[in-house]
Amino acid sequence: MSYTLIIAEKPDAARRIAEAIADKKPRVITKNNVPYYEFTVNGKKHICVPAVGHLFVLNPSKKHNPKGWNYPVFDLEWIPTYTKKETNWTEKYFKNIEELAKNATEFIDAADVDTEGEVLLYNILRFICGVKDAKRMKFSTLTKDELVESYKNMENHIMFPMLESGLTRHALDAFWGFNTTRALTLALKSQAERGFAILSSGRVQSPTLAMLLEMELEIRKFKPTPFWQLELHFKANGKEIVATYEEDKIWKKEEAEKILTDCKDNDATVKDIKKRRYKQSPPVPFNTTDLQSEAYSQFKFSPKQTLSIAESLYQAGFVSYPRSSSQKLPPSVNYEKILKSLATLPQYKKFAEELLAKEKLVPVQGKKDDPAHPCVYCTWEVPDITKLTPQQKKIYDLIVRRTLSAFSDEALRESMNVVLDVNGNKFIAQGKRTIEEGWTKIYAPYLAFEEQILPEFKIGQILKILKLDLLSKQTEPPSRYSQGSIVKELEARNLGTKATRAEILQTLYDRRYISGKSIKVTKLGEAVTKALKEYSPRILSEELTRHFERDMEQVFNGKKKREEVIEEAKKTLTDVLDEFKENESKIGKKLLEGLIEARREERRLGNCPNCKTGELRIIFSKKTGKRFCGCSNYPNCKTGFPLPLVGNITPLNKSCEECGLPMIQVWRKGKRPFRMCLLPSCITKSDWNKNKSSTIKKTSSKSE
């Protein structure tokens, strides 16, 4: 029997679509250990089958690239992802769609509504199903009512403008990725007598790394400047209050000391009192970048982790599509229905009911928009909170409170500045307080409002000084980017997309170009960037990256053709690679120096506690291949310590408080990282050694 085949992007989406639009409960059929769903809609047979993200990936064509690993390479082809070892598990999804497509008389595209969704579905349609168009369901949430509406009002065609833009992006990213990665790697290989390392590069990855190194170098060259501050402590209404000198920084010590001398043995007189009331609007609704930045700030979740958690909540129907540039919450999402649903959850009941009592629900809106989706918000389908993971609870609560806050009133705050005169020198005491909480009571768990309430003063009031402090300080270097601030900076510079920035950042970590939560560029990342900056700077060009971002927008808007943008990219990249080849040997030498230094740095764990002049390093035994910690002064110094045999080791650049030996962090796949010092008998490991001893005894007892 023929049927309509609906293709969803992921398994959970397929299930929810089937359950939402079916006349009655769908029949679940499992094939190749993957479920798909058979049902009728108005008596007509449908099957909804899932993909699992991209089932095809761009790869250099072997037919047109017989020489193997070389560059430039512009002949690319889409190949099934299951042909690659690391993604061979996708074959079962591929086979199910292939089998079901044979008897389908109509196809419906039900992928996520963005460029990635359109590209992955188009590839499935043309390469597996043998068609190049389909009807299109468009939705921003996987709630029942929106899916039903999406089915009833589906488009007759897939979204070709979005598809064209997506295909352009895939081609450009592949051109840059394959070619620049090959160029760097082959340059290194030409200089290395032994050993081999893949050095990756990319259209957005390399400019991002250059931006991070720019900050790193700025921090290194920073020279602190000394300055002094004066604090005046006094008591009013039984409370000790601190006032600071009117100039925040005094650059000359003698000037600061003179002020201190002038103020001694004097009282403070209230010279002026300034009060100002001001309103603080609720924060605008989340877009992807705002959510990632806030989740990092509050929970230290990486952007990639945040997106993954939000995606799981979206697949369950609890939040809207988490990949959106929009900060707008349109009326079509049904404000009242969402608030009534949230009122059924105890932790949000009071807030939701107060908002529902308002005469009109008008959310605050941000400036940024997205043609495909509204902001990231919570839907009317609410979860059983007890069934969410701890991470899901945090992200869900963050999104809910941000959504509720958008409908709430402004907060009313008051600032108070009291100017004190001490023998002609002015000091200022500052106070801040909240008069009307407004939205802040909803978003309170994620706020750090300063509440410094000052008593009432009168002009001319005399105050006794408790003490005067002269503080010696230094200017601080600029702060490193965090994982939260870097995605906002990339958005501000129009580098990457809302969907790719987290992946770009993760790639830089995976390639060991950057490290730490407060992002630091490694020796390897520095070597790659400096070599490119000197000999092939256009690979690092932000402007070139932005130029092609604008081109892709024009493809989306129908102002440019995909083919002309791709041809221009080929020409530009050919020029870039010609320049690279001319300097390949010089680049290779720089890369080799950087790689050697990077590996030395990665293996350095700290200073030797015995000989004092050597370094403790990770060393691999030639006999066993196992690693241990040894001194660089061997054989003159035979200091050594065992190391965990499994997992990546990162030096923490600090010493154990008990034994004084260096601390390390051990990362093991699928497990939480742990910290330890190098001394096996350290008191901090007493529980470990006790458990180890107990295990040995039990094993011995069983064998007896």
Residues catalogued as catalytic: 321
- Using DSSP, state whether 652 is helix, strand or coil: strand
Residue-by-residue DSSP string for 532-550? HHHH-GGGG-HHHHHHHHH
Within 13 Å, how many C-alpha atoms sit on residue 452's CB side? 13
Of 200, 180, 189, 198, the residue nearest 71 (C-alpha)? 180
CA dihedral 681, 683, 684, 686 (to 10 degrees): 80
Q: What are the beta bridge partners of residue 35?
A: 30
Question: Which residues, in sequence order, are CB contacts of 425 under 8 Å at separation 6+?
Answer: 245, 246, 259, 262, 263
Dist. CA 450–CA 484, nearest whole Å: 22
Do residues 236 and 457 make contact, with C-beta atoms less than 8 angstroms apart? Answer: yes
Of 445, 511, 516, the residue nearest 479 (C-alpha)? 516
Question: Which residues, in sequence order, are CB contacts of 164 under 8 Å at separation 6+?
Answer: 555, 556, 562
Number of CB atoms found within 10 A of residue 248's CB: 9
Give buried/exposed letters for 272-300 (b at 16+ CB in 10 A, else e): ebeeeeeeeebbbbbbbbbbbbbbbeebe
Enter the tokens of residue 144: 């029942």
Give buried/exposed letters for 447-479 (b at 16+ CB in 10 A, else e): eeeeeeebeebeeeeebebeebeeeeeeeeeee
Dist. CA 409–CA 599, nearest whole Å: 55
Do residues 83 and 99 make contact, with C-beta atoms less than 8 angstroms apart? Answer: no
Which helix (H) or strand (E) element contains residue 515?
strand 514-515
- How far are the Cα atoms of 345, 392, 402 from residue 386, in angstroms, in the given order? 11, 10, 21
* Cis omega (within 30 of 0) for bond into 635: yes
- What's the Rg (C-alpha) of the chain? 31
* Length of the chain counted residue by residue: 704
- Give how far the C-alpha of residue 254 lies from the chain's centroid of Cα atoms, to the nearest Å: 47
Cα angle 688-689-692, degrees, rounded to a multiple of 5: 85
Max distance between CA atoms of the chain, in angstroms, equals 100
Of 458, 545, 460, 530, the residue nearest 496 (C-alpha)? 545
**Which amino acid belongs to residue 348?**
Y
- How far are the Cα atoms of 380, 599, 639, 640, 693 from residue 633, in angstroms, in the given order? 66, 18, 9, 11, 34
Do residues 342 and 352 make contact, with C-beta atoms less than 8 angstroms apart? Answer: yes
Do residues 109 and 7 make contact, with C-beta atoms less than 8 angstroms apart? Answer: yes
Of 529, 651, 661, 525, the residue nearest 587 (C-alpha)? 529
3-state secondary structure 125-178: HHHHHCCCCCEECCCCCCCHHHHHHHHHCCECCCCHHHHHHHHHHHHHHHHHHH
